[in-house]
Copies of this chain bind each other. A is one copy, B any other.
Amino acid sequence: MGAEAMDDTLTRKGRATRARIVEGAAHVLREQGVGFTTLDDIRGRTGTSKSQLFHYFPDGKEELLLAVAQFEADRILEDQQPHLGQLDSWESWQRWRDVVVERYELQGDHCPSGALFLHVGQARPGARAIVTELLRQWQGQLARGMRALQANGLVAAELDVERAAAALLAGLQGGVAILMSTGDSTHLKAAIDTGIEHLRRARPTTAA
């Protein structure tokens, strides 16, 4: 997209303003939802003028939304670190679980990042790519953690790691979706806990 090409000609001040716009827009979007947010809302929040918005995002709202989607996608994985990258013991899985639950409970119905990409992701091809890549990385990290458990002899080698990771990721996503629409985190907890339990039951047959 044109964003990178623009970074070349961006001054220090320009980069700061652009970042301010993206962050501010992300905030407004999380609060109000994509469908109810106007450029003027973003303008007000970020203390910028119309011309600035179009200066940094020549293709207008579409491009800005895409930049926010990417920003949020990155943030989602970062927020789970370092736990998500170190899933090599039962304790670390538990810590990761707690971080995820706490994070999404805090955001509550304030349409978290998950909502953002779900909304955008339906039609626009660019947004779909961002979502797909996010899910790929997310699932990859979960699978990596499961293989670490296998390597440590905590989980049977027979476990279909990719499938288990896909199921866990789906449960997590669904739990978040339900949390967003009902305000209740029961499903999120149940999904993750059951997913981890699934691993726990897949103890190696040799060990006992």
Question: Which of A123, A169, A170, A180 is most buried by chain B, counting CB atoms within 10 A of its CB?
Answer: A170
What residues of B have a CB within 8 angstroms of the CB of A193 in the complex? 163, 167
Bound-state CA distance A39–B75 (Å) is 37
The answer to whether the Cβ of A121 comes within 8 Å of any Cβ in the partner chain is yes
Q: A33-B122, A181-B122 are in contact. Are A170 and B171 (CB under 8 A)?
A: yes
What's the least CB distance linking A143 to chain B, in Å? 12
In contact, B117 and A181 (Cβ under 8 angstroms): yes
Can you identify 17 A-B contacts, CB atoms within 8 angstroms?
A117-B181, A118-B177, A122-B180, A122-B181, A128-B182, A131-B182, A163-B190, A163-B193, A164-B190, A166-B187, A169-B187, A170-B172, A170-B174, A170-B178, A171-B171, A171-B174, A171-B191
Interface positions of A (Cβ within 8 A of B): 33-36, 109, 111, 115, 117-119, 121-123, 128, 131-132, 135, 163-164, 166-167, 169-178, 180-182, 186-188, 190-191, 193-195, 197-198, 201
